[in-house]
Each structure stands twice: as C-alpha cells, then as structure tokens.
Amino acid sequence: MTGRNKKLAKYLADYLEKNGAEVTLQEMIDADAFELVNYDALIVDTYTYHDGEVPDEAQDFFDDLKDVDLEGTKFAVLGSSSKDHLHFGRAVDYFTMELNSSNGEQVADSVKIDKDPDADDLKRVDMLGDNVLKSLK
C-alpha cells in the first residue's frame, strides 16, 4: 500500500547478497508455494490488513501452504504493519504458524515493524538475515 514492505524486502535482499547469498525476490501474488522446496530458504515479508488478516494478494499463496510439505526448508518471517490498528502484525504470526505447520524449519524469530523501520528495527532485520545465512552453512 505504501511500499514499505517492498522497500524492506529489497533492503534484506541487498543485505543477504552482500553476505554471499543468491536471492530471488518475488511478489506473493506471483509466488508458487509448490516450488518452495527448490530453494534452500524462504523469507516471507508481509503487511497486515483488514483487522489482522493476511493481505488479499497473499491469500492464495497462504492457502496453498496448507497443501505443501516444505521438507525442512529453512524459513523466517518479517513485516511492517501498524500499531494504529488492532492485531498488530498478525499476518506475520499467521505465516509463522503456517510455515511451521507445513514442516518448514524456523531459523529466526519473526520480526514485526511499526510502519517505517528505525535503526533498531533494521538491526533486527539484519539479525534475521544473519540467522538465515548461518542456518545454510
């Protein structure tokens, strides 16, 4: 909606690439949940909408995860949402639970950011990236 999560995803992708990873960035509306096992790791970045719901354009991807066996694929979840709304960042919780249920291996604590990230938030994002990279070594 405001482009915050696109910017955040790009920031994290740049950070991972600088640290030696090969990154594919995809909009969730274009992503295929059944292809995820072909990657070493998955990072979901989501906003929250409609009183604590998964964004409409992420819903098909989210629903497909129920039918996917991630076979231990490493994952982490983050997202910018807003404390001005009820259920702050609940889509981050939904994705975290769903990816665990789909047999993914969570390798970093999920990160919720209130609107635009400040310096401390970006440190938490870097740490999430570090944990994903460490899990792949």
Ligand X SMILES: Cc1cc2nc3c(=O)[nH]c(=O)nc-3n(C[C@H](O)[C@H](O)[C@H](O)COP(=O)(O)O)c2cc1C
| Interacting residue ranges for ligand X, rule: CB under 6 A | 1-5, 47-52, 80-82, 85-89, 115
Residue number with CB closer to ligand X (2 or 101):
2
Q: How far is the CB of 129 from ligand X (least distance, A)?
A: 18
Residue number with CB closer to ligand X (73 or 80):
80
Q: How far is the CB of 77 from ligand X (least distance, A)?
A: 14
Residue number with CB closer to ligand X (74 or 90):
90
Residue number with CB closer to ligand X (50 or 66):
50
Q: How far is the CB of 1 from ligand X (least distance, A)?
A: 4
Instruction: Write out the E strands in the chain.
Output: 41-45, 74-81, 105-106, 111-114
Q: How far is the CB of 8 from ligand X (least distance, A)?
A: 7
What number of CA atoms fall less than 13 Å from residue 64's CA on the CB side? 15
Q: Do residues 9 and 44 touch, judged by C-beta distance below 8 A?
A: no
Q: Do residues 81 and 49 touch, judged by C-beta distance below 8 A?
A: no
Task: State phi, psi for 25 to the nearest 5 degrees.
Answer: -100, 125
Q: How far is the CB of 58 from ligand X (least distance, A)?
A: 11
Tallying the residues shown for the chain, one arrives at: 137
Ordered DSSP codes for 103-135:
T-EE-S--EEEESS--HHHHHHHHHHHHHHHHH
